Chain A
């Protein structure tokens, strides 16, 4: 029963933001999804202030043991989310974590305030893989930029704040330390690695992108070893809990994440291969832990 930012969760397996739309999944799988809900908390996809249509297709490219996506954060926008999705998400049998992103401190502040008002939301995850309007670098790529943003917005919500770090940085542990110092209650990582999918097929022109959005982000087992390196580097340097993710496909992998210092483990891409992967991983981890006597930490 992991305790995470004041939430008492049934088990350590949650979903990665943007990799599970429970509302759509319920249409496909009905109440069985709810009855054997795979995650101990549900993380929404990233919500922005304004609605976004997302990137033009193709949005997916399969790589060796991985997936590149260039989805482009389609979402109904803050109001759409609160009005249309929140009632359905609030009915889930587990706590709801709402993931938000903004490109300026003001935008983020507005998102945090709106979320703060809603009792249905247990915690907020801030996705900082968003280019800073001034530097062009992702906000989360630079410890100083991130600290500045967090210092400006942290007080806008009293809910637990998870900062979802970007892996595309020189030393993610430095960024995590900055997040902790500026009031993050937890950090989550890794988000996808910046990646390029080349045009393929008979008409492919060299240098052209396959993805409608140009570049994309790599996830899945291909990046698990990178994720483990980043999670363990971060966990050694912060005292706040860490949500570890990246390529987790089994209970053994989840145990490796916990071993690297994570408190919770998120499953993303593997859910695409099996909608119930989260439940299987939870069970495998339980068996694994029963054998080794603990959740491996």
Chain B
């Protein structure tokens, strides 16, 4: 078995994304660099040989997934019940947590203008959000962050993959300075 075969076998047998360091556990002869190299080879090979699956970077790791173009065929076999889609409030709350993590409930509620306790619990139940610790503030409120599962679910390789702030209007880039924002805003429109 060569490195590429071991990496392929491990990825093939896994039902969740694996980090290079995790794959490397398969054999003493492996290290992260060797794994990364094999991953690149396999990815190119699958693409060039027109395989039905691709090696995708996802959730801080790698996973073999079918090509999106196959969806219409595979959906005919849809025997797995899918979770209900996230509601608008849940998505908004998730978006806030994703960009502002770690963040407390009070801040989330201020940004959305409505209560968030129930929605946060839903996101926790779905494994998309987790407690990151406690703030130093009064009452030491809980802080939340997104999980690896969040990345997997939305198809992001890492938090860096989230839509970049420069594609978005100004605000999320900066936490604070209102003057700046208003300054930029006033100049713009």
Q: Indicate, yes or no, whether A interacts with B.
A: no
Which A residues are closer than 8 A to B by beta carbons? none
Which B residues are closer than 8 A to A by beta carbons? none
